[in-house]
Amino acid sequence: MKRIVIQEGNHMIGKKLAAVALSAVLVLSSGIMAFADTTSWDSGNVYPSDVLNTKLLTPVKFLIDKKVVTGDQDGLFHPEKSITRAEFATMMAKATNNTNELDIVAKQNYYNDLAGYDWAKGYINACAKASLIQGVGNEKFAPGKNVSYAEVITIIIRSKNPSAVTTGTWPDNYILYAQMNMNSMISDRNISDWSAPATKGDVATMLYRSMPKN
């Protein structure tokens, strides 16, 4: 088994897990749409046509109704596309209700590479303040970098139980925790490369499954 010690935000994840671990790797899910300039988008009970009559309609509809995600400018969801770390942080801040005093939080300087991300800075800082996210080192967040499946599952686990994973080497410790304790959330994605960019469809499904429905 080849294992590479990495930090959150890097993509130097071990490409091979033990056969037992691989057999248990199922999938991550959850989703997001564009955030930069579609914040006023209102579904009006009209949902993206590319998720209608698919299994994604339920999670996407839920996240849109909860204002966790918005529609792309073309009105589609594009479930096959990847999302950035800035987009995922924005989504997580909304999903976990860490959106109080965004204007104040946005003025804080957790990271020094958020120029051009004014639309996301408050959300990114809110997630950092809540200890949901970490940077990639040297006070950088890499907001335009695609978020990986390992990063997605790590942040969701932290949002549900900050002390759930206290031992082991990232990301294997979080991946194994998810396999052992979150089967209902990741049981149908069949992810084999946890360092790969997470798709909108997978992110939407996993986040939907992790959120309370009342």
CA proximity to 208, closest of 80, 32, 42: 32
Residues with Cβ < 8 Å from 1, sequence gap 6 or more? 14, 16, 17, 18
Instruction: Tell me what pLDDT residue 56 has.
Output: 96
Domain count within the chain: 1
- Domain span at residue 166 reads 19-83+148-210
**CA angle, corner 82, sides to 30 and 35, nearest 5?**
80
**CA angle, corner 123, sides to 61 and 149, nearest 5?**
65
Instruction: Tell me what pLDDT residue 45 has.
Output: 56
Q: Would you state the structure tokens that stand for residue 42, as one six-digit string?
A: 């209102």
In a domain, 119, yes or no: no
Per-residue exposure over 154-166, b if at least 16 CB sit within 10 Å of its own CB, e if not: bbbbbbeeeeebe
Question: Which residues in the chain show pLDDT less than 50?
Answer: 1-43
Instruction: Tell me what pLDDT residue 4 has.
Output: 33
What's the whole-model pTM score? 0.78
Neighbours of 192 (CB within 10 A): 13
In a domain, 195, yes or no: yes
In a domain, 92, yes or no: no
In a domain, 111, yes or no: no
In a domain, 9, yes or no: no
Average pLDDT over the chain, rounded to an integer: 82
Give me the count of residues in the chain: 214
Q: Which residue has 């997580």 as its token pair? A: 92
In a domain, 25, yes or no: yes
Count of helices and strands (H, E) across the chain: 9, 0
In a domain, 103, yes or no: no
Residues with Cβ < 8 Å from 187, sequence gap 6 or more? 26, 27
In a domain, 143, yes or no: no
